[in-house]
Amino acid sequence: MSFADFPSSNQAVTLLQRSLARGRVGHAYLFSGEDLNQLEALARALAKTLNCQNPVRKDGMAMDSCDACRSCSKIDQSIHPDIHWARPEAKSRIITVLQMRELTREIHLKPTEASHKVAIITSADRLNLQAANAFLKTLEEPPSNSVLILLSTDPSRILETILSRCLRLNISFATSAELDPADREWLESFGSIASGNQKSLLSRYRLLDSLLKKLNDTRAAVEEALSRDSMLEKYDDLDPGLRESLEETLKASIEAEYRRRRTGVLSLFQACLRDVWIHTLNLDDSLLSHPRQKWTGQLSKKISSKQAMENLQALETTQRLLYTNVQESLALEVGLLKLHF
Instruction: Tell me how crowded residue 39 is: count the other CB atoms within 10 A of its CB.
Output: 27
First to last CA, the chain: 35
- In this predicted structure, what is the pLDDT of residue 151? 94
User: Which residues, in sequence order, are bridge partners of residue 168?
Assistant: 30
Residues across the chain: 341
**Nearest CA to 113 among 71, 77, 144?**
71
Buried b (16+ CB within 10 A) or exposed e, 46-73: bbbbbbbeebbeeeeebbbbbbebebbe
Paired with 167 in beta bridges are 29
Q: In order along the chain (341 residues), what is the average pLDDT of each group of 10 residues? A: 77 87 91 84 94 91 92 90 85 83 91 90 90 90 91 86 88 59 88 80 88 93 81 70 77 82 85 91 83 89 93 86 84 91 86
User: Residues near 227 by Cβ (< 8 Å), separated by ≥ 6?
Assistant: 233, 250, 254
Q: What are phi and psi of 176, to 5 degrees?
A: -95, 10
pLDDT value for 261: 84
> How much is the pLDDT for 248?
81
Question: What is residue 90's predicted lDDT score, i.e. its pLDDT?
Answer: 55
The per-residue pLDDT for range 169-217, each reduced to its tens digit, is 877 654 444 677 888 889 999 988 888 876 678 888 899 999 999 999 9
- SS3 label, residue 277: helix
Query: In this predicted structure, what is the pLDDT of residue 235?
Result: 67
Question: What local confidence, expressed as pLDDT, does residue 177 receive?
Answer: 46
Across the strands, what pairs with 86? Answer: 121
What residue ranges do the domains of the chain occupy?
3-170, 181-337
CB atoms within 10 A of CB 332: 21
May I ask the CATH class of domain 3-170?
Answer: alpha beta
